[in-house]
Amino acid sequence: MDDMDDIAARQPIYLDSAASTAVRPEVLEAMLPFFTSLYANPSGHHAGGFRASGAIEAARASIADVLGALKEEIVFTSGGTESINAGLKGVAFAQRDSGAGQHIVTTQIEHHAVLHSAQYLERFGFEVEYIPVDARGRVDPPEVIGAARSDTVLVSVMYANNEVGTVQPLAEIARGVRARAATLGRRIPFHTDAVQAANALRLAVDELGVDLLSLSGHKFGGPKGTGLLYIRRDVPFLEQLSGGGQERQRRSGTENTPGIVGIARALELAQAERDGFASRTSMLRDRLLEGIRRLVPDAVLNGDPIARLPNNTHVCIPGVEGEAVVTALDRMGIACSAGAACTSATWEPSHVLLAMNVPLELAIGSVRMSTWPTHTEADIDAVIEALPAVVARLRAAGAPAI
């Protein structure tokens, strides 16, 4: 058996936790009764319905405690995408209808859920200003703050980038926007996409200074199809899903009781363990990066080298296509993700890397690896062992045409 066969024979190594995580055993245990014996509709006016609705309200209280919020400020959704869409569209339309204005400020490196929501709003007459970033993927706080004006109805800046892992100076930006709004004699709601933040960063909404915050359960050990949107009590909001009036008229639809119980338990655990998570995953990340730099010395780290998520390693490898690297590693039992997608007709590099002014020929070779506390040093060493041979083989086959 050669080295490559030996690597492939090992237990699969999942280095894609930024994309999704396994449901934690404690979370699954909390959810299971609501799939079986406690299955009643929470709107039911009987004992089963009361138990289900009681579990939902207990979950709401738990999340509010974690965020430092009020129970009534928590809205349960189907995931991060819905939370972001509802937050941006609900606040924008509510304020436009009241005559407050139609101007929105966001950044060029937001998740597509934010960018596509912004583009959707542009179709309805909103003006969206997209703030650029520097080569590390960081926005300049004064640029965001200075963009706010008398007709601005919303500012949205992500907490941590889902691709390169850069963490924004969110509290500084939010404080500045609030002060700027005060000089304009108005309130400008501030939203953040915190989907990547729950495992390692503090989510206290008053400390961050945010008015809306979006989360997705499957990013921190919760179930897929679950999300939440924090909406500060006095922020104007127009519901985006109408029907039975659930979630205090802000999001209609029969509540996903097991999912709500699950996301609440997952968030409790993630926030309680975030210091340990950061310590463990950053050690593994640094080991991985050191090995890559030693054996693939022309690989380039993307994102801020210090202000970044502790489990994020995002590199560009010259002379290869990221998707090809991911495919080759997958055949060896190593799962990661590419930062650029390619079709037979055209290259589609990451909008994040292009906003950071990464050259196109380098951007197409981007690969993201995200560590998890359950990884071992042996797992990381196996990846370090595998990657150089993959890169060498792909380079020998010829660099991708652009």
Establish whether 336 is a catalytic residue: no
Query: Do 164 and 137 touch, CB atoms closer than 8 A?
Result: yes
Query: Do 87 and 212 touch, CB atoms closer than 8 A?
Result: yes
Of 58, 335, 342, 389, catalytic:
342
SS (H, E, C) 352-388: HHHHCCCCHHHHCCEEEEECCCCCCHHHHHHHHHHHH
Q: DSSP H helical segments within 131-200, as ranges?
A: 141-147, 170-183
Distances (CA, A) of 19 to 15, 16, 96, 108, 392: 9, 6, 34, 20, 27
Alpha carbons 170 and 210: distance in angstroms, whole number: 9
Q: Which residue is associated with the tokens 């179709």? A: 123
CB atoms within 10 A of CB 62: 18
Work out the end-to-end distance of the chain between its first and last CA atoms, rounded to an integer number of angstroms.
37
Enumerate helices (H) and strands (E) in the chain, giving the number of each: 14, 15
| Catalytic (active-site) positions | 342
